[in-house]
Structures are given as structure tokens and as C-alpha cells.
Amino acid sequence: MPRKVDFLVIGSGIAGLTFATKIPRPADILILTKKRKADTNTNYAQGGIASVFSNEDSFDSHIQDTLNAGVGICHKDAVEIMVSNGPRLVQELYDMGCRFSVDAQGKFLLGREGGHAKRRIVHAKDYTGYEIERVLLERAKQRGVVISENEIALDLVVDNDECCGVYYFDADTRRIDILYADATALATGGAGQVYMHTTNPPIATGDGIAMAFRAGTRIANMEFVQFHPTAVFTIQVDGRSFLISEAVRGEGGILKTTEGEPFMDKYSTAGNLAPRDIVARACVAEMKRLGTTHVLLDISHLPADFLRNRFPTIYDTCLRWGIDITREPIPVVPAAHYACGGIQVNTQGETSIKRLYALGESACTGVHGSNRLASNSLLEALVFATRAAQHAGDIAGLAIPRDVPINATPDKCPDRKLMIKEIMSRYVGVIRNKQGLIAARDQVRRLYAEIADGIHYKNAESLNMTHIALMIIESALRRQESRGLHYMEDHPGTDPEHAHDTVIDRTSILE
């Protein structure tokens, strides 16, 4: 008998765990995750989760800030859903045991981050993601959700335009096998690993987006790669550049040149709290102007006790690397951080293939437009995974297709990760131009030509990263303007003709 579950979830971050724990009926639910349970972007989230809790705040204000950051292409209906469902679902996480920081009256202490007009960032000091992951893993255990570690999903099984499950590499049997499900949810996170410097852990190779792309779904807005302005220059922890949360600037941190000159006021009236795209470009411009490898982030003017208590992870990690943030500035550089684009879904998380949902960072719900506002990612994942679970609850049973072949090609995909990272970092970073994008496309296409058809399992991530790179480059080439995170030197202005999503599928690139 083929192995079948009711609900199959790929990924154990906030999106996958929320979906799995919110299916509204008794069901057989399995999560596949490619490393250990908590090896997720979620686990490293620092700043917090944006939501309206203050009396001085309003849904309208949060909606407007989100739309402003996205520069004309956010889907307003999706933004409204995200913002208005936020307080209820964030409160639910707290009630489940998430140790968010609160004041003496038990009210959330609200942080401030770039692009937000108000204090609205609910946080657990600087380890918000760790707390969310911990609580959701506990909830999954209580609910009887099975989490299978070290299992890598390779491709979707699609029959008659319906997703029937996945091909996966079974770590126990060392074989490729098929898992069938009534509904499959991709919650595989982002793709920061296609760049040399990224805040994302090694799992973030864009697998779900690449799998959905190969299966023929619509993919939107891949050109909008968010670079976080402040990753520590030179500190790599477990394959990722260590992040200094935007909350540090929210509490008064100041960006300075290596000569000690504050520079953000030259670039935005919002200064150090301008949206991320503006801050990242300003850092790159200052590094270029002065010929330096990094800029500085200085928070040492605040009381040492406050810093140690508010940012314990950042304080301890920097200290281990010889930087005392209470006494000296931190050397920082922009690093790839977040994929605003992904698998195009509607507001129930449905993709363009039946029985297939996409959630969290691997999905494009339309809420971020051309630039995600700080701390809106955890919120988006929470809200839309909840809605997708409610929707999926009604799905009918799958008739398992017969004789699905397993066309595996074990040795035919060479490891190209490093080459992809080099190409993407050189030509498809914070500042782009048409000539560079064409050079990148030619080089990645040459790498792709060496890859055979079939299911690759030895170097599945390498194949996925090649596809992600092609999607980012193709989408960037289609947008001959500058908007949000996508800045073209040869088209510095924003063109109203381009005020729409960039939607591609495999026929745009591979056929």
C-alpha cells in the first residue's frame, strides 16, 4: 500500500506548525522537515511580530505603513486581513505560553522598527522566534502531529492538475519514495542561501518555491529580495551572518561611517528608522563612497544594563566575537534576509494547483508588495497559515493515482551552490543594472544546462538554488524600473506602468 496521510506539511517553522496545529478536525497530519525540528528561520527571528495593541495605534495606521513600504503593489485586501487578525492570533500565542516581554501590568512592551509610525512590535527580548518555535513545537506534540526529521522533500507529485503529495528522500531507508496526502502544504521558508552573505540558516535554499515552480504553479515578485542593513561584518554562526535586529535602531542605535559620522539623515527624514530598502542602499552608498567593507552601528551611548537586558542574544554573541556593544560600535553590512516573492496564493493560501497550499515565506500573499515592513513576516505566516488550515479542513479525500513513476537521476546534478552565490552576490544584490542581470542570466543558464532532467536527491538544494536564481534574475529583468527593494541603476525612477506583480511560471524560463 502506498503511504498516505490526510495532511502533509513540508517545513516546521511558524507557518508549517501553525497550519498543522490548526486543522479543525481530527486527522492524520505529518510534517516533513529536512534537518532538525527547530532548524528554521523562525527560530532566529529577533525583533518581533508586528500587531496593533497600543491605544495610540490603529489598524488603519498599520495598514497604511505596510502599503507605504510596499510602494503601490501590495494587495490591500490581504493587508487588511493580516493586520486585523493580528492581535487575536498574537494574543493566542501568548496564552499558549510564548514569553513575550510585558510590563508590570502584564501589557505587551511594544518595540519600534523601521517604517512603523507607532510602537507595535510584540517581542520576547531579542529571541522572539525561539519562543514562538518552542511553543508551537509543544502544541504540535500535544495535538499528535507527527514530525519526521531529516527528510527532504524533492518534488511534488502532480496528476491531472492536482497535487497528490511529494517525492522525498527517506533518511531511514535511504530511498526516494512517495508520500500521498489529501492536501499538501509547502512551508519551506525563504531562499537567502542563494547569496554569499545571508542572515538565513543553511535550510533556506528555496526548496518549496523551486518544487512548485517545476510543478507549474505561478510564482510572483521574486525580484524583491530584502537585504537587512545590519548583519555583523565577519561573524558567521552556523552558516549564517549574525543579525543585529532593527529593534536596536528602534531603541536609538545610530548608523555611522567607519570614520564615526552618522549618515542616515542624508538619505531619509526618518533617519535610522527609514524602511529597510532605503537603509540598505544608504549603507552600500556610504561603503562605496569611502571605499570601506562595512559601516558601523552604534548603541554604546545607552546604559549598559538596559542593553544587556533588552538584547541578551546580541550582547552575548557579539561579546563572544570580541565586540562589547555597551562600549563600542558594531561593524555591519547588508545581507540577504527575506524573500518578498514566492508561490502565488490567494487569501486562503491556495496555489494555482489543486490540493496544494503555500504558506509563510515560501508564499506570496501580496501583503509585502515590493518591500516587507519589519516584523510583518511572522505575522503574515501566522495569519495566512491559520486561514489555510481552516480552508483545508473541508478538503475531500484523494483518489491515489496509479503507477506514478520515480524518475531519479542520482549523480547528474553537480553541486553549484558556491557558484550561484557568487553570481547572485556580484550581479543581483542591493543595486542592479540590466547588463549585470543579463550576465548573471547567461552564467546561471550555463550552469543549468549541465543538469539532467529527473528527481535529484544528492544535490537537490543545488538544483533548487539554480531555479531560484533564474526566477530572481528573470523577474528582475522584467522590471525595468526601481521600486522598493528592486533598484536599477539604469532606471532609478518608479514607473506607474510597472505598478503590478511580476508573475512567472516555468514556461517563462525553462521552455
Chain residues in the site for ligand FAD (CB under 6 A): 10-16, 32-35, 39-42, 44-49, 128-129, 152-153, 187-190, 199-200, 203, 207, 243, 338, 360-362, 375-378, 381
Check if the beta carbon of residue 417 is closer than 8 Å to that of residue 206: no
Shortest Cβ 196–ligand SIN spacing (Å): 19
Binding mask 206-245 for ligand SIN (x = CB under 6 A): ---------------------------------------x
Write the CB contacts of 47 (distance below 8 Å, at least 6 apart in sequence).
111, 113, 121, 123, 126, 128, 245, 246, 247, 250, 374, 375
Phi, psi (degrees; rounded to nearest 5) at 408: -95, 140
Shortest Cβ 214–ligand FAD spacing (Å): 12
DSSP three-state, residue 174: coil
DSSP three-state, residue 10: strand
DSSP three-state, residue 361: helix
Shortest Cβ 33–ligand SIN spacing (Å): 21
> How far, CA to CA in Å, does 412 sit from each of 240, 275, 416, 450?
28, 43, 12, 8
Interacting residue with ligand SIN among 101, 370, 375, 462 (CB under 6 A): 375
The strands making up 110-111's β-sheet, listed across from edge to edge, are: 49-50, 121-122, 110-111
* Per annotation, catalytic residue among 120, 139, 218, 276: 276
Nearer to ligand SIN, 228 or 416 (CB): 228
- Contact set for ligand SIN, span 38-67 (CB under 6 A): 46-47
Shortest Cβ 419–ligand FAD spacing (Å): 21
Interacting residue with ligand SIN among 6, 182, 223, 246 (CB under 6 A): 246
65 interface partner picked from ligand SIN, ligand FAD, none, CB below 5 to 8 A per type = none
Is residue 134 classed exposed, middle or buried when 0-12, 13-18 and 19+ CB atoms within 10 A define those classes? middle
Exposure letters 374-399 (e unless 16+ CB within 10 A, then b): bbbbbbbbbbbbbbbbebbeebeebe
Shortest Cβ 381–ligand SIN spacing (Å): 11
Amino acid letter at 407? N
Closest C-alpha among 503, 224, 231 to residue 369: 224
Nearer to ligand FAD, 52 or 488 (CB): 52
DSSP three-state, residue 510: coil
Residue 276 falls in the annotated catalytic set: yes
44 interface partner picked from ligand FAD, ligand SIN, none, CB below 5 to 8 A per type = ligand FAD
Binding mask 335-354 for ligand SIN (x = CB under 6 A): ---x----------------
Nearer to ligand SIN, 15 or 176 (CB): 15
Pairing of strands 330-339, 295-298: antiparallel
E strand intervals along 302-400? 330-339, 342-344, 356-358, 363-364
Nearer to ligand SIN, 52 or 451 (CB): 52
Interacting residue with ligand SIN among 98, 255, 374, 473 (CB under 6 A): 374
Amino acid letter at 125? K
Shortest Cβ 341–ligand FAD spacing (Å): 13
188 interface partner picked from ligand FAD, ligand SIN, none, CB below 5 to 8 A per type = ligand FAD
* CA end-to-end distance (rounded Å), the chain: 36
Shortest Cβ 376–ligand SIN spacing (Å): 7
331 interface partner picked from ligand SIN, ligand FAD, none, CB below 5 to 8 A per type = none
Site size for ligand SIN (CB under 6 A): 9
Full DSSP string of 28-42: -EEEE-SS-TT-SSG
Nearer to ligand SIN, 184 or 375 (CB): 375
193 interface partner picked from ligand FAD, ligand SIN, none, CB below 5 to 8 A per type = none
Residues forming the active site: 276
Chain residues in the site for ligand SIN (CB under 6 A): 46-47, 245-247, 338, 374-375, 377
